[in-house]
Structure 1
Amino acid sequence: MEKQFEILRKTRQFLISLLDGLSLEQLNKIPQGFNNNIIWNAGHIVAAQQGVCYRRAGLPLIVDEAFFDQFKPESKPQEQATEAEVAQIKKLLLSTIDDLQRDYENKKFSTYPAWTTRYGVAINSIEDVVSFLDFHDGLHVGYAMALRRCVNS
Structure 2
Amino acid sequence: MESLFNAWKTSRMAYLKFFEHYSLEELNLIPAGFGNNLIWNIGHIIATQHKLIYIGSDVKGHIPEEVFLKYQSGTKPTVPVSQQEADLLKSLLVEQIEPTILDFNNNIFLHYNSRTTGTGFHVASIYDAFEWNNFHEGLHMGYMMSIRKFI
- Name the TM tier (shorter chain): over 0.9
- Counterpart AA for 2:37: N
Aligned to 1:15: 15
Shift of the alpha carbon at 1:67? Answer: 1.0
Q: CA deviation at 1:64?
A: 1.4
Aligned residues: 151
TM-score, normalised by the number of residues in structure 2: 0.95
Alpha-carbon distance in structure 1 between the residues aligned to 2:146 and 2:41: 11
Q: Which runs of 4+ in 1 moved over 3 A?
A: none
> Are residues 1:113 and 2:108 paired?
no
CA–CA separation in structure 1 for the residues paired with 2:55 and 2:9 = 21
The whole-number CA distance in structure 2 between the counterparts of 1:69 and 1:86 is 16
Q: State how 1:75-86 maps to structure 2 within 5 Å.
A: 75-86=75-86
Contact 2:117/2:123 (CA < 8 Å) preserved in 1?
Answer: yes
- Other-structure match for 1:34: 34
What 5-or-longer segments of structure 1 have no aligned partner?
A: none
SS of the equivalent of 2:61 reads coil
- Report the TM-score, using the length of structure 1 for normalisation: 0.94
**1:117 Cα deviation from its structure 2 partner:** 1.3
> How far, CA to CA, are the matches of 2:47 and 2:95 in structure 1?
13
What's the CA shift for 1:18? Answer: 2.3
**Aligned 8 A contact 2:27 2:37 in 1:** yes
Q: CA deviation at 1:19?
A: 2.6
- Give the match for residue 130 of structure 2: 130
Q: Name stretches of at least 5 consecutive residues in structure 2 with no aligned partner.
A: none
Give runs of aligned pairs for residues 52-67 of structure 1, distance below 5 A: 52-67=52-67
